[in-house]
Chains A and B, each alone.
Chain A
Amino acid sequence: MIIEDVISFLGKVPPFQFLDEPTLRAVASSASMEFYPKGAIILSQDGPPSKYLRVIQKGGVKVFIKSDEDEEIVIDYRSEGDSFGFLSLVGGDRSRANVLAVEDTVCYRIGRDAVMKLLDSNPSFTEYFLKSFLNKYIDKTYKEMHNRSLLYGGGDKLLFTTPVGELATKKVVTESQDISIEEAARIMASHKISSLVLLDIEGLPVGIVTDRDLREKVVARGRSVVDPIKDIMSIPLIRVEARDYCFEALLKMIRYNIHHLLVIDEGRLKGIVTNHDLMMLQGTSPISVARDIESQQTIEGLIPVSKKISRIIALLLKEGAKASNITRIITEINDRLVRKILEIAERKYGQPPVPYCWIVFGSEGRKEQTFKTDQDNAIIYDDPKTKEEEGAAGEYFTEFTIYIKDALVRCGFPLCPADYMASNPRWCQPIKVWKEYFTRWINTPTPDAILFSVIFFDFRPVHGDFNLAERLKNYLTQILKNQNVFLAHMANMTVRHRPPLGFFKTFVVEKSGEHKNELNLKLRGIGPLIDIIRLFSLEKGVTETSTLERLDALRDKHSVVMEFGDELEHAFEFITLLRIHHQFEQIEAGIEPDNFINPNKLSNLEKKTLKEACQLISKIQDLIIEQYRPGLVTE
């Protein structure tokens, strides 16, 4: 009978499975069944509050928000047994996200009264929603969660959905930039504020002065307080648009190492957002880790800080962040860590005899790091002018790079098994040698040369004289022009690993060994995608290194990307996120993270999406075989 089917379905789905039979029957009887064809919008962003909780019986939906620039930010995919509409239902505020049926979807719709009754009378039901829904968005303890007022207050403050404008302190205190330091300090004290915005004659904000400025630039240096405030104010002001999401603000704070941002709304000053505001929004904060790194003076001090990075990933995952957003933050933090180590080394060994640039490649070069990955780094230094300089440089960098290699290991970056590290003299060379390497690899594309190209051509400067890296990059772009034989060799490498196509029928997974019946996401999914996009970038002279940035740059340059750009981007985001989730679960379980997933453990929607991504990769590989003729190349 109808109701029995509903009861037996809900009986297998958390949190309904925690309910007893009579309660379940009452819920089922009050429910109704809806159908949404693929492509139908079920809930709209900023629409009226949801009056229902919907449980997906069949099909799947995408939960996403649209920014003012019409950029789509996917929060989550939900499939059979998952529900949506809960936050808006209990919060009673407008619906914050769009929910779109990505397949023909059948939902059981449960009314607000019925849900409220369950929340009131069934602790395990309540706990489930509090943990799985709210905890995703606000990082507070369960005890606080249980607080009714919070529950009904609807505080789903998301890092990725809350515009900065909503957090900006309502009133900003401003003053003319012509007042003295003493006057400024008095105004700040009387208003009990930690920052003061200074205006020019026209009333436009030109600078900011914070407690830190008063401490570091005035008191610590014994500067006279009658000096004009504009002498110590920070310029330029870093601004953020009120409609930008807090995530952008966070990224700016990390990048510029500041903790105050001016929030501008339609050209006018709306307020200030501080790192404290963002921390309140999200609990543990990436920026606090970044600042922590900044304040360390020794390698010993950096070690505990570096351990916090995987906690950040956990936090971002909970917040429902996209893979690219996670890797952007992690890259930003890892870069700071590496820079700090280099600064400490420079202090220890003194300034180098010639300018140098520390470059990274591999996933670090592509800004696609997640959990700690092997060291992949090298040094380009300026061509020595004399024999003496040459000798001095060799000596200096030998000790310098070994010190850094060890420091990185202590901070959780394992050694590169293939020794692609600056401590290997082969990868610590003056720019003229690097140019020779690149020329040789391209002109004589032996298997080794292709391997090196794949690894090193994703290089990116992190510290030192960026000009050196820039020069090498320009040189590379120049010598790559019309190198069809080299590109054919690259193409050959690009199509060597095919994704599993018969995935759900024949299950092309590892056939034997430890990972029997599992799928290697890196080798068969992310790897081929990265290789494809690198191939196109090298061909078209695109200098970006991250796969998504390359894709963006290729959109009006490469015919395949013109046609499949969006699909490639989604495939890359999806597989990367799948891998991060997988590795995170392993780390949480105390297992060494790997790239092997068991497709049977994926939800139907995940399977379907993965299958589509694999089909796409395979299709593009076929196009590559057609266009680049790698078959004509003999190895």
Chain B
Amino acid sequence: MIGSIALYKNKILRMVYAQKEGIHPSAVKNLKVMEHIDRNTLIDETKYVVIDTELTGLDLKKGSIVSIGAVKMVGGRIDLGDIFYRLVNPETELTGQSIVIHGITPSDVVEMPVIDTALSELLDFCGNDIIVGHFVSIDLNFINREMKRLYGFPVQNPAVDTYMIHEWVRQNDGDFSRHYGGMSEDADLFSMANKYRLLMSSAHNALNDAFVTAQLFQRFISFLLRFGVNTLGDLLRIGRP
């Protein structure tokens, strides 16, 4: 949400960090994201970056990031060539439970860089785009934990949550529900993918899930415009994580 509070916070941060030296250039750039965002941009012309992370566990204190996937969109169009995928050597141990979910084993990541490199690369990939994710606050919590540790501040890009949009659509947009013969009852990405007939790879990883999330977002874009959600400002209001 780029409300006045967010802008104010960003302003303070920039004042503080203008003095500091040795900050990673990618992070410096991220502080200026707000300058490039116009709330009046139409949602089908806005640039988005759809992200997903795989974690060793959901507990913010114990878990950490194993992989990050992201795809780019312009309005409802997914750019197939512009993708981001990094495996990360996690600080915490890969538990048996998480290995089952994402199939990433310790030997897969032991040679991988630690999160520091991946994070600055992610910032570069995100550029000035709007972050989109399914239950995106979970991903952002983990990303921001590392951001604060490394740079002292969270990711500055505004974000929208496809789950929140789905809930808004459930309450406000009868057309969408009619078109698909009702809304998805379950909130998880897999159920939504089935309900809205999204393309899924058999492999379950951060990139493929980001791609599925992008398609989910794509379905919304084509209906939201007809439903009075026209500008980025409108979208940020209904999709706030």
A residues adjacent to B (C-beta < 8 A): 1-3, 5-6, 28-38, 40, 57-58, 104, 106, 108-109
Measured CA separation A38–B211 after assembly (Å): 22
Partner of B222, one of A5, A28, A31, A36: A36
Measured CA separation A31–B71 after assembly (Å): 13
Further contacts, 8 of them, CB under 8 A, given A34-B77, A34-B78 = A2-B201, A3-B81, A28-B81, A31-B80, A32-B77, A32-B78, A35-B215, A104-B197
B159 within 8 A of A: no
Let me know if B222 and A29 touch, CB within 8 A. no
Measured CA separation A104–B196 after assembly (Å): 10
Residues in B with CB closer than 8 Å to A40 are 222
Measured CA separation A18–B164 after assembly (Å): 44
Let me know if A3 and B215 touch, CB within 8 A. no
Interface size class of chain B, counting residues whose CB lies under 8 Å from the partner chain: 20 to 34
Let me know if B197 and A2 touch, CB within 8 A. no
Most chain B CB neighbours (cut-off 10 Å) among A1, A33, A34: A33
B76 within 8 A of A: yes
Residues in B with CB closer than 8 Å to A106 are 199
Q: From residue 67 to 82 of chain B, which have CB atoms closer than 8 A to chain A?
A: 71, 74, 76-81
B9 within 8 A of A: no
B204 within 8 A of A: no
| Chain B residue with the shortest CB-CB distance to A37 | B222
Measured CA separation A30–B211 after assembly (Å): 16
Contact of A5 with B78 at beta-carbon distance under 8 Å, contacts A35-B215, A37-B223, A38-B179 already known: no
Could you show 16 A-B contacts with beta carbons less than 8 Å apart? A1-B203, A2-B207, A2-B211, A3-B83, A5-B201, A29-B81, A32-B74, A32-B80, A33-B218, A34-B78, A35-B215, A35-B219, A37-B179, A37-B219, A40-B222, A58-B199
B208 within 8 A of A: yes
Measured CA separation A6–B208 after assembly (Å): 13
Residues in A with CB closer than 8 Å to B207 are 1-2
| Chain B residue with the shortest CB-CB distance to A36 | B222
Most chain B CB neighbours (cut-off 10 Å) among A1, A2, A36, A40: A2
Cβ distance A605 to chain B, nearest Cβ, rounded Å: 16
Let me know if A33 and B80 touch, CB within 8 A. yes
Residues in B with CB closer than 8 Å to A33 are 77-78, 80, 215, 218
Residues in A with CB closer than 8 Å to B80 are 2-3, 6, 28-29, 31-33, 108
Measured CA separation A501–B120 after assembly (Å): 59
| Chain B residue with the shortest CB-CB distance to A4 | B201
Measured CA separation A37–B219 after assembly (Å): 8
Cβ distance B208 to chain A, nearest Cβ, rounded Å: 7
Residues in B with CB closer than 8 Å to A37 are 179, 219, 222-223
Residues in B with CB closer than 8 Å to A30 are 81
Residues in B with CB closer than 8 Å to A1 are 85, 201, 203, 207-208
Q: From residue 171 to 221 of chain B, which have CB atoms closer than 8 A to chain A?
A: 179, 197, 199, 201, 203, 207-208, 211, 215, 218-219
Residues in B with CB closer than 8 Å to A32 are 74, 77-80
Most chain A CB neighbours (cut-off 10 Å) among B78, B179, B203, B207: B78
| Chain A residue with the shortest CB-CB distance to B78 | A33
Let me know if A2 and B222 touch, CB within 8 A. no
| Chain B residue with the shortest CB-CB distance to A30 | B81
Residues in B with CB closer than 8 Å to A34 are 76-78, 218
Cβ distance A114 to chain B, nearest Cβ, rounded Å: 10
| Chain A residue with the shortest CB-CB distance to B73 | A32
Residues in A with CB closer than 8 Å to B78 are 32-34
Measured CA separation A29–B79 after assembly (Å): 8
Cβ distance B165 to chain A, nearest Cβ, rounded Å: 15
